[in-house]
Every structure is written in C-alpha cells, then in structure tokens.
Chain A
Amino acid sequence: MSLSFEIQHRTGRFTLDLALSCQGPVTALFGPSGAGKTSVLNILAGLIHPQSGRITFQGEIWLDTHKNIFVPAHARAIGYVFQDGRLFPHLNVRHNLDYGAHLSKDRPARASFDDVVDLLGLNALLQRHPRNLSGGEQQRVAIGRALLARPRLLLMDEPLAALDVARREEIMPYLENLRATYALPTVYVSHSMPEVRRLADEIVTLEASHVTSHHANEPQA
C-alpha cells in the first residue's frame, strides 16, 4: 500500500501533528488512549476535515488543504470498523452487510457475500437484528459490512476494545484470517501491544499526538 499523509489539526487543548508514510499491508497505529489515534483514522476516513494537511492514497489525493481538495468519506472507497460497531438498528444483519455492497457495485469485488459470511461465521446471524447480537457478534458483522463495501483501504479502530478477553480471543482468529486471505491495505488502531504484534506488518507508535516510533513487525500467531 502507499498511504502517506501529514496532518496538523487542533481540537480543544491538543494539537495533532504528524507525518507518515505507510507500507503496510497492515499498519498498526499504537499508543495510549488520548494519543489521537482515532482522530487520525477519522481524518483518513474523511469524517474530520483537518485544519491543515495532505493525504494521498495510491497516487490519489484525498486531501490537500493548500489546494482546497477534500474528497468526502463516501467517495474514498474505504471500509471503517468502529470501536462501537455502529450497526444500523433498523436493518437486520443481512441488510447491514448489504448496505455498502449495494453502493460499491462499480468496483471489483475482493470477496463474495458468501465468502465473507463464511470467513466471519455469520451464517446463523443473517436474519437477526443488531439488538439481539452479543458484542462479539456485532463486531464480526461490522467487519463483514466494511469488507463487503469493497474497500481499497480498511480502517479499524480498536475493534476488540469493547469486548471481554474471551470475545477478543473469539474474534482474533477472524482478523488473522482476514489478513492472510485478502492482504487488504489496513490501518489498525489499538492500544494493546500483543494484538498489534499478532496482526501488523509495521507498527507506528503515537504519543501525545506525535509519532514517536515507526518500525517493521513480523506478524506472529
């Protein structure tokens, strides 16, 4: 992957100021909570318009505040897995999974609906409603929904943080499967070093809104 960006963004009392060039395929943004990791993801996703900066992904300019370029979230062809799932409560699991798939028909599919359902073990859940799912199940659906939107870049914001240890261990194999199967360019945000060690090809450490280290990692199961 070739994702590079430099961002200066001030919100309230802290200023995000960093420049990065990611090789991937899986880049982990690691750091304590409050370091600005989620803000970085939101800026990459196009949900936050930073005061100043530039983002390019595979030669495409997503943001250049000097040239007044801003590609909105819906046009960036990303997949975003949020910490809190954010499944649509008025749709069942199947329709949640289909939501992004319908909107990205013009891009080649990396994985079919059935493949993703199999990979994430969602078969038994398709007719259920988000409110009737456990936290782990909700997060698996959220990952499936993001994958089926045919993303060119996958953003994951602590997808395991809201889960207890047992649930984390339940999802971890799916995530490892994911990286092995699709090698999808991914930015993975986490504050858990063991998690990051298992999944990432490179680890970027973020502290107090600045990059403090950036090195390669050999994912280990």
Chain B
Amino acid sequence: MNLSLADITAIWLSLKIASVATLVSLPFAIAVAWLLARCEFFGKSVINGLVHLPLVLPPVVTGYLLLIGFGKQGPIGELLESCCGIVMSFRWTGAALACAIMAFPLSVRAIRLALESVDTKLEAAASTLGATPWHVFATITVPLAFPGILAGAVLGFAKALGEFGATITFVSNIPGETQTIATAIYGHTQSPGGDAPALQLTMISVAIAMIALIASEMLARRVSRKAADL
C-alpha cells in the first residue's frame, strides 16, 4: 500500500464523520423509535413517513434539500451560524449531518423492532415496584433492547460510512474537509491513472466494514454474557 496524504485524510475523515453522525443521532433515533413503538398520537404516520423519507428519496434530492435548508443562505443554516457559529455547508459537520439523516431510518427501524420486542408487562412490573417511567426505560427497556439498539447503531454507522449522493450534493468533495472514502474513490475513477488508488481505498473500505461488523458482534455477545453473570 502506498496511500497518498489526501487518501489517508479521506479515511480519517470518513471515520470521524460516520462516528459523529452515529453518536449524535443515536439518542434521537432511540427517542423516535420509542415514540413509534410505544405511543399512539395524532400525526404518527406523518412522523413515520418523514423518518423514512431519506430511504426512498434519491440521495441527491435529500442532499439538495439540505443545501436549501442548511446552506449559507438557507433558513436553518443562517440561524445556526448566527446563534451558535455552526456552519454546515461545505464543511465536515455538514457531511456528518447528511450521513446522520441518511442513516436515520435504518437505525430507527432496527431500534424500533428491538423496543417492540420488550415485554411491556415487565415495564408495568417495574413501575409497581416504584420505578418512574425514566427509571423503567433506563433499567428495563434499554438493557433488554440493547442488542437491537447496537445493531441499529452499527447499521447506521455502516450507512454513514458509505453515504455518497447526499454528501457530495450538500458539501461537495473537498479534500481535507469533506472528502470521504466514497467521494475519494469517485474522484479517482474520474481521473486518468486513478485505478490503483481507487482499488486501495475500496479494500480499506471493505476492511473497515468487516471490522465494524465483527466488533459489534463481539460487543453484543459480551453484553449478553455479562447479563448472564450478573
């Protein structure tokens, strides 16, 4: 392997963007999944539709919507910049946002299934023992749904790592700022003599995905073994 500096930066940025996207969106994914799994309310199907929209929309459309909304002139983008100094467009933070939104429906689906599989009778039993709804959630629901929540996070991470269309539309393909493995490979395939570096990045991409999958498998097994030893 002899990776160029730009490629190494792209790998590092990919990991950073996917990790931030996964970690920041996970609490929201759990909250939305819980809402969809456990609550009946007016407009639930609208929420459900909105969450799943990035899954069915062409990624370019999602990216373009982000550009309109979160770009420098976009209403949310302007607000974020004036109040918190956060700039999304053409920055790695914007790439993380695009990845988080693209990965969101996958995480929510997996976590929702896991939450639905938790027996509500156990939650009721916990509440009769004096546990507030928050305590029930933290000590009964989340531990019992943990393997599914982890699966949702890994799925989201994998999706974020491979996200291409929305990212390149929203934040472009700027080496050192928004160029990820996926957009770097695309860049290599567009330039003469780019086959070798494209192949190298492809192999690294496969390796990262495998490591993430194996690590999550091991973590899930360790958690269930730890639960058995308690």
Chain A residues engaging chain B, CB cutoff 8 angstroms: 45-47, 72-80, 82, 84, 86, 88-92, 95, 99-100, 103-104, 129, 145-146, 149, 155
Contact = CB atoms under 8 A, between A and B. Distances in A.
Interface residues of B, number: 20
14 contacts: A74-B129, A74-B132, A78-B128, A79-B128, A84-B121, A90-B143, A90-B144, A90-B230, A92-B230, A95-B230, A103-B131, A103-B135, A104-B130, A149-B128
Given A74-B131, A103-B135, A104-B130, A88 B122 contact: yes
Contacts of B227: 90
Interface string B28-47: 00000000000000000000
A104 B132 CA distance: 12
A79 B127 CA distance: 10
A149 B125 contact: no
Contacts of B228: 129
Contact of A88 (B128, B132, B133, B140): B140
Minimum-distance CB pairs A-B, first 6? A100-B129, A103-B130, A80-B128, A86-B125, A73-B127, A90-B227
Nearest to B144: A90
A45 B128 contact: yes
Nearest to B229: A92
B230 A91 contact: yes
Given A84-B121, A92-B230, A47 B128 contact: yes
Q: Is the interface of B mostly helix, strand, loop or mixed?
A: helix
A90 B97 CA distance: 35
Contacts of B128: 45-47, 73-74, 76, 78-80, 146, 149, 155
A92 B135 CA distance: 18
Contacts of A92: 230
Nearest to A155: B128
Interface in B159-205: none
B129 A146 contact: yes
B126 interface: yes
A155 B125 CA distance: 12
A82 B121 contact: yes
A39 B136 CA distance: 22
Contacts of B125: 80, 82, 86, 88
A167 B129 CA distance: 25
A77 B139 CA distance: 19
Interface string B105-144: 0000000000000000110111111111101000110011
B213 to A, nearest CB: 24
B126 A149 contact: no
Nearest to B136: A74
A75 B128 CA distance: 8
Contacts of B139: 99
Contacts of B124: 47, 73, 86
A102 to B, nearest CB: 9
